[in-house]
Amino acid sequence: MGIRKSTLEEVAAAAGVSKMTASRALRGAPDVSPETRQRVLNATEQLGYVGNRLALSLSSRKTNLVAVVVPSMSNIVFPEVLAGISAGLEGSGMQAVFGLSDYDAGKERDVIRDMLSWRPSAIIVTGLDQPEDTVKMLRSADIPVIQIMDLDGTPIDFNVGLSHGKAGEEMARALIAAGRRRFGYIGSALERDLRAAKRRAGFERVLHENRLAFIGQRLGDTLSSVGLGKHLTHELLRAEPNLDCIYYSNDDMAVGGAFASVEAFRSDDILMAGFNGLELAAALPVRIATSRSPRRLIGEVAARLACDPIASNASSSSKITAFVPEITGVV
């Protein structure tokens, strides 16, 4: 249904040439006489011809498709990555196809298998923690695999992102240097959001190095959100009133924490620290600390690699592109 549209053959007939000539004319091949080309173009216009990429790709054995798998759409971070990819692909003739894993390894495997059946020219996946069977599938696809966001692990092929372990460490160092000592932690679904778990681990590592520890914490089990962050913060502040800093699994949660601190009249004596550097966080009436993740840029770089893995790779000589998040708002 709906797949029935005019074909190259009909265009060719209307223009009084062969399929091949029509094909060449449409693709702008050099060896077609100007008038023939014009006749073909007219016929195309006339019939409202739209090429069939299924046939094109099957025949030419290239799809110009980039498969992209991200865990979620309900946090603005991944849409921004996708926007970056979309921008990075612009003008390259490549098309992105997106799939969602919902932070679920099994679902991720299925989605990847599904996308591979379209024979994409490259695939971009989030994180480095795919189970072995997924990795095997990715390897045997025999196309460039670009793992993004995370750097803590062993990449399959290309890798663009940042070390979340180090991001947690650096944030802890900055906060301790600024004089913070009584830390709490608030996060959620860490068994699914592995990057948030790595940040927490890094943070805790530095606390221990400094003979410190989280005095209290609250862990939600639904996905992170501003409302959840606010709720858990109220709970934690009630249980542990003398914290001077709370580290959150991300900025959404930290913004909720900031709201809670305002409501509890604690915004002056406790600092909330998150991760991502959301636009929103910068506009807040109270200051929060955060590490800015260059997520849009990560998307653009990954897209560039997907377009031309050879050239992009040659120029950088390494298959790993590492970013270091910038810390702001620590006082």
Partner DNA sequence: ATGAAAGCGCTAACAG
Partner DNA sequence: CTGTTAGCGCTTTCAT
Q: Which residues pair with 272 in a beta bridge?
A: 246
Q: What Cα–Cα distance (Å) separates residue 298 from each residue in 20, 136, 291, 324? A: 41, 24, 15, 11
Sole binder of a second copy in the list 189, 262, 287, 319 (CB under 8 A): 262
Segment contacting a second copy by CB under 8 A, of 38-46, 82-90, 188-196, 240-248: 82-90
Dihedral class, residue 217 (left if φ above 0, else alpha if ψ from -120 to 50, else beta): beta
**Rounded-to-integer distance, Cα 76 and Cα 303, Å:** 19
> Measured from the CB of residue 68, what is the shortest distance to DNA in angstroms?
23
Classify residue 290 by burial, with Cβ atoms within 10 Å: 0-12, 13-18, 19+: buried
Query: What is the distance in angstroms between the CA of the first residue and the CA of the last residue of the chain?
Result: 62
Q: How far is the CB of 173 from a second copy (least distance, A)?
A: 28
CA dist 249 → 75, 100, 188, 240, 273 (Å): 13, 21, 7, 19, 9
Binding of residue 251 to a second copy (CB under 8 A): no
> What is the crossing angle of helices 226-239 and 251-263, to 10°?
50
With contact defined as beta carbons under 8 Å apart, do 67 and 118 qualify? yes
Place of tokens 């679902």: 107
The verdict on 41 binding DNA (CB under 7 A) reads no
Residue 238 CB, shortest distance to DNA, in Å, is 60
Q: Write out the binding residues for DNA, residues 229-258 only, by CB under 7 A.
A: none
Residue 322 interacts with DNA (CB under 7 A): yes or no:
no
The answer to the question of residue 324 lying near a second copy (CB under 8 A) is no
Q: Which does 140 bind (CB under 5 to 8 A by kind): a second copy, DNA, none?
A: a second copy
Figure out which of the listed residues 2, 28, 48, 59 binds DNA, where binding follows CB under 7 A.
59
**What track of x and - describes contact with DNA for positions 19 through 38 (by CB under 7 A)?**
xxx-xx-xx--xxxx--x--
Question: Choosing among a second copy, DNA, none, which partner's interface includes residue 322 (Cβ < 5 to 8 Å by kind)?
Answer: none
Residue 300 interacting with a second copy (CB under 8 A): no
Contact footprint for DNA (CB under 7 A): 3-4, 7-9, 17-21, 23-24, 26-27, 30-33, 36, 51-52, 55-56, 58-61
